[in-house]
Amino acid sequence: MNNFTYPDYQPDTGHLTENIQRKYIELAIKKDLLPDDAELDASIVSLTASNDPATPIQFWQLYSVLGAERINSIVTRFYDLVYEDEDWFKSVFERISSKRHHIRVQAAMWIDVMGGGAQYRGGEFRLNFHHAHNAFQLMNTEGARRWSELMVAALNDPSIDLTDDQRVRPALNTFLDYFMGKYAADFGFRHQSMFGEINPPHGRRYNFPAMTPDELETLTVRDLTSELQARGIDTSAYSNKQQMVYKALSL
């Protein structure tokens, strides 16, 4: 198991960070991905990723792990692919500005949201204005599909360094999936989740050895599964809740 000592890069609040964090947490609670008291959980709201490998990295914590250079590399590789793509797609970006400009602005937006400080001037107003007035030709199912395909290709490129923390890619996928879902809702197109595995539900940690049998019985199957897996136990061997409770009692 890896020993992490985050932050590798000192995080800070940006123009977008707090509002996006709040909106995502509200949505994730509704989807049962985060607990109802998520905003009170320091491991969730902090801009620094947890050093516990069992705790998912939230996307506003990614700067503390990746830093600006890695984030810039992802965005640069993406726009390399965009400007090599079919004319119907790349011409929209060419009309707006140069590749260098797109890289600079999108990297600033990512760094800002991901906890890298005030990089994206104009905040959500600027972000929404851009998609409604500049990129509107691609704010549809086909445009979103091609954008997603190229982003996945960029993230899968062997030259891209996502560190050896296996939580980074699901955190990036969660970030991308959240924004694509937002744009689908804003512009009325079909949301297709194409990025891959997103963050698993953020489970509360339990001290099984200190709990009574009655206390263990009150836990849900999800709580039991999450805590057992966090302890490195393969839960596929247990077919029902009672077996998980027996296992928890044996620890």
Task: Count CB-CB contacts under 10 A for residue 167.
Answer: 24
| In the predicted structure, residue 226 carries a pLDDT above the cut 90 | no
Mean pLDDT of the chain: 92
Interior angle at CA 117, CA 147 and CA 62, nearest 5: 55
Region of poorest pLDDT, from 39-48, 87-96, 168-177, 220-229: 220-229
Structure pTM?
0.81
CA distance 36 to 1: 30
Give me the pLDDT at residue 1, please.
47
pLDDT-derived band at 204, boundaries 50, 70, 90: low
Q: Tell me the per-residue pLDDT of 150-203, one tens digit each, with 9 for 90 and over.
A: 999 999 999 999 999 999 999 999 999 999 999 999 999 988 889 999 998 876
| In the predicted structure, residue 95 carries a pLDDT above the cut 50 | yes
- 206, 198, 196, 197: which is closest to 229 by C-alpha? 206
Give me the pLDDT at residue 133, please.
67
If phi over 0 gives left and psi between -120 and 50 gives alpha, with beta otherwise, what is residue 109? alpha
Positive/negative CA dihedral, 210, 213, 219, 221: positive
For residues 251 and 228, the answer to whether their CB atoms sit within 8 Å is no
For residues 15 and 113, the answer to whether their CB atoms sit within 8 Å is no
For domain 1-203, say whether CATH 1.10.490.10 is its number: yes
- Neighbouring C-alpha atoms within 13 Å toward the C-beta of 81: 17
Domain ranges of the chain: 1-203, 208-250
- Token readout for 119 is 């990089």
By CB atoms closer than 10 A (0-12, 13-18, 19+), residue 20 is buried
Q: Tell me the per-residue pLDDT of 7-40, one tens digit each, with 9 for 90 and over.
A: 999 999 999 999 999 999 999 999 989 988 899 9
Residue 242 CB partners (closer than 8 Å, separation 6+): none
- Token readout for 96 is 């707006």
Region of poorest pLDDT, from 52-56, 89-93, 113-117, 226-230: 226-230
Give me the pLDDT at residue 202, please.
79
